[in-house]
Chain A
Amino acid sequence: MLVVQGVEQGTRFELGDRQLAVGRDARSDIRIHDDEVSRNHATLQKVKDDFVLTDRNSSNGTLVNGVAIRSHVLADGDQIQLGSTLLLFSGASRERWQESAADRVQLLRRHDPADRSSIVTHLGQETAGTPAPIATEGGDSPNSLSVLYRIAEEVARPSSSLEQSLQRTLDLTMSAVLADRGCVLLTDPQSGEISPHVTSQRVAGTPGVRMPISRTIIDYVLKTCQGVRTSDAQHDSRFDRTDSIFQAGIREAMCVPMQGRHQLMGVIYVDITTPAESLLMPREKTAGFREDQLRLLIAIGRQTALAVENHRFQHAFVKAERMAAMGQTIATLSHHIKNILQGVRGGSYLIDMGLNDHNEELVRKGWHVVEKNQGRIYNLVMDMLTFSKERKPAYQQAQLNETVHDVFELMQARASECSVELCFHPASQLPLCTFDPEGIHRAVLNIVTNAIDAVEGADRATVTIETGLHPTTEMFWVSVSDKVPGIVDDQLQRIFNVFESTKGARGTGLGLAVSQKIIREHGGDIRVESKLGDGSRFTLSWPRLDDVISSGPKTMT
């Protein structure tokens, strides 16, 4: 399940076999940081092969595809609205779609003796949308326009996967042209091979019987860019009624090209079988395809092709962006690691020199440099782990002042080395609270590290850490403030972006993003107040969890 709108946009939740709690509560399996979402909003449970979403009397309700639900079996492509957060349910991967389509289709070899299809009508794309010579039921222009309008809406729907769009388009097409079975075959942009992607069946067929698709007909359509109507009744009206075709009925098919702006994207193939007993009825009463239906299908083919083309462009764009982001990630990390390596080399050099000269002081200085860089690589790895994996906070009852005091103690040496005065003003009477001590430790550590780096070298450089519990909002907070030099406005907009560093060689651009991730996991956020020349104040705050109110105060000693 993918969050497509909301604070967690881009977050993906894997659904397993066990029941999952969905809500704002810190213990929710699928946690949504949205004030309009109830703490225990809904549940998701796997029942056989389906996932059932059930609302748990939430204040603002659970909507699936815009409709309020009590309990709902999720289908591929369903959009779930919780508060102002929108999630997309996706049940099958692209490979599964293709495997499933391939199982339902029999792609006949070229010139296969079993392939008796012959073309009875062919129309160029320029005829698409033009009025049919005879407007008949199901093929009149208003209906065609309505179908085209619905398909246009479908292909333009955001956040649907290509396969979902194609499936809905094909289902609509099947109803519009009254076909029994249908298939969309797409050309692979790399290999040029055409293969079935989605299938649809309007009329139940014989179990195990696949939809035969003539490769020869597809080749013709791809080559001429014309839509065709075919029949397996050879020479149509002149067929031998004693032939086995008569026993099985006549199968008619339509195949149209999906012509994009620049290239052919594939074909749409639909078929219909006229039962043997209907063959004796007048032509207009039988179930065969008409020319106006072929015209409509050609228009649908064009529209679908544009959608496929747009989707491929979008996919290529996202891929390029991903590659660029990956490149930036690697460049930033390798730069930081190179600096650590440089430090280790420096320390090792001093140790080596000290050992050769029997100079213990030099060895000690070298070891200090090595140790410091060992700490830097540890912090880098921990930040990477915290940022990369879908971690859940390890909640436990703890004293916030103690966790922050640990950071204060740990950073004293660094502050002293940088000639920075580090102060800690813990709130008195701070009660025990439930939080992830390791996570909060890391979040505060990163902010304090940044503050020390920011003020190093300034006159009377001071960094102050404070803690507290807001009396009315019941929010725990930790603030880290420095006096100089402040953050310029345009940097303030970007400081939480991953790999955006304002610290030059010292920064990875991970620290603040990691702190923000941890605080958001606690249901809170980081607020920054900064004025150039006056310094900055970072306040990390998160809501007090319900179950600790009765724990009583435990003060810091």
Chain B
Amino acid sequence: MNSAPHVLLVDEISDTEAVLKAVLGPRGTSVERTRGAMVARRNEQGNCPHVVVIDLDDESAADTAASFGESHRILIGSVKATVEDRDRFLSKPFQYPELLKTIEDLLLLPPLTESPG
């Protein structure tokens, strides 16, 4: 895992990416967005993000979440989903200050060392 704070957004729509980049970018956190089939290709290149924000409304969200076992995960969904203790859940439509606060809190935590699934 790189030492520079790195947030990965798995989302079909680019709006949240634009907000996170505008707010977190100047604070030294890099923000990257991926989606669908590109997630696996991106993971092959290594680079495990500190925090991954996953839109659960996307079809392959469950598989996507499982592939980020070493990252802190924030799950966003229209329907309240059962999430693991380590995960944070935000229901849509969420408030951006809440998302940003959650990301910044998780960035302060040490990275996870193993994948609980």
- The answer to whether B92 has its CB under 8 Å from any CB of chain A is yes
Q: Scan residues 13-46 of chain B and give those whose CB is less than 8 A from a CB of chain A.
A: 13-16, 18-19, 22-23, 34-38
Q: Does B78 contact A (CB under 8 A)?
A: yes
**Among the listed A335, A338, A349, A485, which residue makes an inter-chain contact with B19, where contact means beta carbons less than 8 Å apart?**
A349
B56 nearest CB across to chain A (Å) = 10
A547 CB, nearest partner CB in chain B, Å: 45
- Interface 1/0s, chain B 77-109, versus A by CB < 8 A? 010000000000000111111000000000000
A345, A346, A485, A504: the one within 8 Å of B58 (CB): A504
Q: Which residue in B15, B34, B93 is a CB contact (below 8 Å) of A457?
A: B34
Measured in the bound complex, the distance between the Cα atoms of B26 and A362 in whole Å is: 11
A365 at the interface (CB under 8 A from B): yes
A346 and B12 contact, CB distance less than 8 A: no
Instruction: Tell me which of A338, A347, A503, A506 contacts B93 (CB under 8 A).
Output: A338
Interface size class of B (residues with CB under 8 A): 20 to 34
Residue B11 at the A interface, CB < 8 A? Answer: yes
Residue numbers in B under 8 Å from A362 (CB-CB) = 22
Query: Given A457-B34, A457-B35, do A347 and B15 touch, yes or no (CB 8 Å)?
Result: yes
Chain B residues whose C-beta falls within 8 Å of the C-beta of A346 in the assembled complex: 15-16, 18-19, 96
CB of B55 within 8 Å of the partner chain: yes
Q: In the complex, A343 Cα to B12 Cα: how many Å?
A: 12
Q: How far is the CA of A457 from the CA of B18 in the complex (A)?
A: 16
User: Closest CB-CB distance, B31 to chain A, in whole Å?
Assistant: 13
Q: Assuming the A-B contacts A335-B78, A505-B57, A505-B58, are A342 and B15 also in contact, with contact meaning beta carbons closer than 8 angstroms in the complex? A: yes
Decide: A350 and B19 in contact? CB cutoff 8 A: yes
A275 to chain B, nearest CB (A): 75
Tell which of B12, B19, B92 touches A504, judged by Cβ atoms closer than 8 Å. Answer: B12
Closest to B57 in A: A505
Tell me the bound Cα distance from A485 to B37 in angstroms. 10
Which stretch, A126-134, A147-155, A367-375, touches the partner chain B? A367-375
| 8 Å CB interface, A334-358 against B | 335, 338-339, 341-343, 345-347, 349-350, 353
Nearest Cβ on chain B to A403's Cβ, whole angstroms: 28
- Nearest CB in chain B to that of A372: its residue: B15
- Chain A min CB distance to B14 (Å): 7
B59 at interface, CB cutoff 8 A: yes
The number of inter-chain residue pairs (CB within 8 angstroms) is: 65
A373 CA / B15 CA spacing, docked (Å): 9
Q: Given that A350-B19, A365-B18, A505-B55 are contacting pairs, would A342 and B94 also be in contact in the complex, using a CB cutoff of 8 Å?
A: yes
Q: B12 to A505, Cβ gap below 8 A?
A: yes
What is the CA–CA distance of A366 and B16 in the complex, to the nearest angstrom? 11
User: How far is the CB of B23 from the nearest CB of chain A, in Å?
Assistant: 7
The minimal Cβ–Cβ distance linking A342 to chain B, given in whole angstroms, is: 5
In the complex, which residues of chain B have a beta carbon less than 8 angstroms from the beta carbon of A345? 93, 95-96
B38 touches A504 (CB 8 A): no
A352 nearest CB across to chain B (Å): 10
Q: How far is the CA of A549 from the CA of B79 in the complex (A)?
A: 56
- Collect the chain A residues with CB atoms within 8 Å of residue B23's CB: 350, 353
- From B12, B15, B57, B59, give the contact of A369 (CB < 8 A): B15
Q: Which residues of B contact A335 (CB under 8 A)?
A: 57, 78
Min CB distance A486 to B, Å, is 12
Q: Which of A499-544 contact B (CB under 8 A)?
A: 503-506
Q: Say yes or no for A417: interface residue by CB 8 A criterion.
A: yes
**Inter-chain contact A369/B93, CB cutoff 8 Å:** no
> What's the nearest-Cβ distance from chain A to residue B95, in Å?
7
Nearest CB on B from A525, distance (A) = 29
Interface centre among B19, B38, B55 (most CB of A within 10 A): B19
Residues B78 and A338 in contact, CB atoms below 8 Å apart: yes
CB-nearest residue of chain A to B59: A504
Bound CA–CA A343/B16 (angstroms): 7
- Asked whether B93 lies within 8 Å of A342 as measured between CB atoms, the reply is yes
- B15 to A350, Cβ gap below 8 A? no
How far does the alpha carbon of A504 sit from the alpha carbon of B97 in the complex, in Å?
25
Q: Is B15 in contact with A343, judged by CB distance below 8 angstroms?
A: yes
Contact in complex: A505, B95 (CB < 8 Å): no
Chain A residues in 8 Å Cβ range of B35:
457, 504
Inter-chain CA distance A338–B92, complex, in Å, is 7
Q: Is there contact, CB below 8 Å, between A343 and B13? A: yes
Task: Note all chain B residues with C-beta closer than 8 A to A505.
Answer: 11-13, 55, 57-58
Residues of A within 8 A of B11 (CB): 505
Q: Closest chain B residue to A417 by CB distance? A: B14
B12 CB → nearest A CB, Å: 4
Q: How far is the CA of A504 from the CA of B19 in the complex (A)?
A: 21
How far is the CB of B16 from the nearest CB of chain A, in Å?
A: 6
List the B side residues contacting A372 at CB < 8 Å.
15
Knowing A349-B97, A457-B38, A504-B59 are in contact, say whether A365-B13 is a contact too (CB < 8 A): no
- 18 further A-B contacts with Cβ under 8 Å, apart from A347-B15, A457-B35, are A335-B78, A342-B16, A342-B94, A345-B95, A345-B96, A346-B15, A346-B16, A349-B97, A350-B18, A350-B19, A353-B23, A365-B18, A365-B22, A368-B18, A457-B34, A457-B36, A457-B38, A504-B57
Question: Could you list some 23 contacts between A and B, CB below 8 A?
Answer: A338-B78, A338-B92, A338-B93, A339-B13, A342-B13, A342-B93, A342-B94, A343-B15, A345-B96, A346-B19, A347-B15, A349-B96, A350-B19, A350-B22, A353-B23, A365-B22, A369-B18, A372-B15, A457-B35, A457-B38, A504-B59, A505-B12, A506-B13
List the interface of chain A (C-beta within 8 A of B). Answer: 335, 338-339, 341-343, 345-347, 349-350, 353, 362, 365-366, 368-369, 372-373, 417, 457, 485, 503-506
